[in-house]
Amino acid sequence: FDGTLGDTETPAMIVAFWELAPYFPEASVEYLSQECMRTYVRNNAGKAFEFMVDVVEEDRKKAGLPAIEEVRAAGAEDPLVLAHVNEQRAKSGLPTIEATRALGKDILTLQKDETVEALATLAEPCPNVPGVLADLKARGYDFSIATTSGKPRVPVSVVACQYEAYFPPEKIHSGESDFEPPRFKPDPSVYLLAAEKTAALPANSVAVEDSTSGVGSAANAKMGLIVGYVGGSHISDENEDGHAGTLMAGSRSDDGRGADIVVRDMRDLVPVVDHFKSAVESGEKEPVKFPRALLDGLVDKHWVDEARVVA
């Protein structure tokens, strides 16, 4: 969902950044600039917050600093850094770090709750997605959400994006919330669950992903077609070529498989899915080939291995 259906990666990552910022070993007012925040958002979009916390904890340990929760419990953050962080948190409608202490929540729980609160008002559809969903539904395609993100974060975002008609609760599947312990991408479990609940064979299904871990999850689940997407606001224009390349590289899949094709405009998903359906129905062997005429008819920039292109 995040970064494909809903343009939620950027606001969610901004929340995550300003929750972790006081605990970066190198934290200072000068270091915690807007450029630092934007770089962090780009580099960590699609990753679980638990992973980000682990990285900061490891960096703090190497620097000989106490654990995050020790600092939070003692209120030992740098006051100048805290004032700066609080000013930035206010832009997302969040309380000061000091005010969160009374809640008695650890940073993982706090992040989940604050992200839900922020996304309830900040989540928006990715460009052209509402029309694409309507078009796919009109063509008879069934679809579900298969996400690492937990509940209620995703249902709240679905409501904010006005997607309730497409994704009722039974169509939302979460690697974090639907499994005990959680199974985060690139683990294939959430895709396999979504396919099962949709009564679809993974080999006949399409995954749309904006992250390497998501592509890895879809590949490990043996999804028939993996479409990468770089049209979310968390992927800058200057980084889209590189990001498309990483999605196609297959670095997080067990067999090295990456995205079969990457698109920038979600409207191009419809003809690609139509082509995949025709290939499946005709018994075409994997991997699916892409006719040049199909690619020439796409409305925006796309990336595909030329070895997969046919006349």
pLDDT digits (tens, 9 = 90+) for 239-265: 899 999 999 999 999 999 999 999 999
Please give the span between the terminal C-alpha atoms of the chain, in angstroms, as a whole number.
Answer: 34
| Cβ–Cβ under 8 Å, residues 301 and 310 | no
Helices 189-197/212-220 angle, 10° precision: 60
Per residue in 75-107, pLDDT tens? 999 999 999 999 999 988 899 999 999 999 999
- Alpha-carbon distance of 55 to 91, in angstroms, equals 26
| pLDDT at residue 147 in the model | 96
Q: Helix, strand or coil for residue 310?
A: strand
Residues (pLDDT < 50) of the chain are none
- Alpha-carbon distance of 293 to 302, in angstroms, equals 14
| pLDDT at residue 93 in the model | 87
Q: Tell me the whole-structure pTM to 2 decimals.
A: 0.83
- Alpha-carbon distance of 48 to 275, in angstroms, equals 33
Where is 208: in which H helix or E strand? strand 206-209
- Alpha-carbon distance of 10 to 13, in angstroms, equals 5
| Cβ–Cβ under 8 Å, residues 45 and 3 | yes
* Measured CA distances, 130 to 126, 161, 207, 265 (Å): 8, 9, 17, 12
| Cβ–Cβ under 8 Å, residues 59 and 27 | no
Where is 291: in which H helix or E strand? strand 290-291
| pLDDT at residue 46 in the model | 73
Copy the structure tokens of residue 123.
């989540």
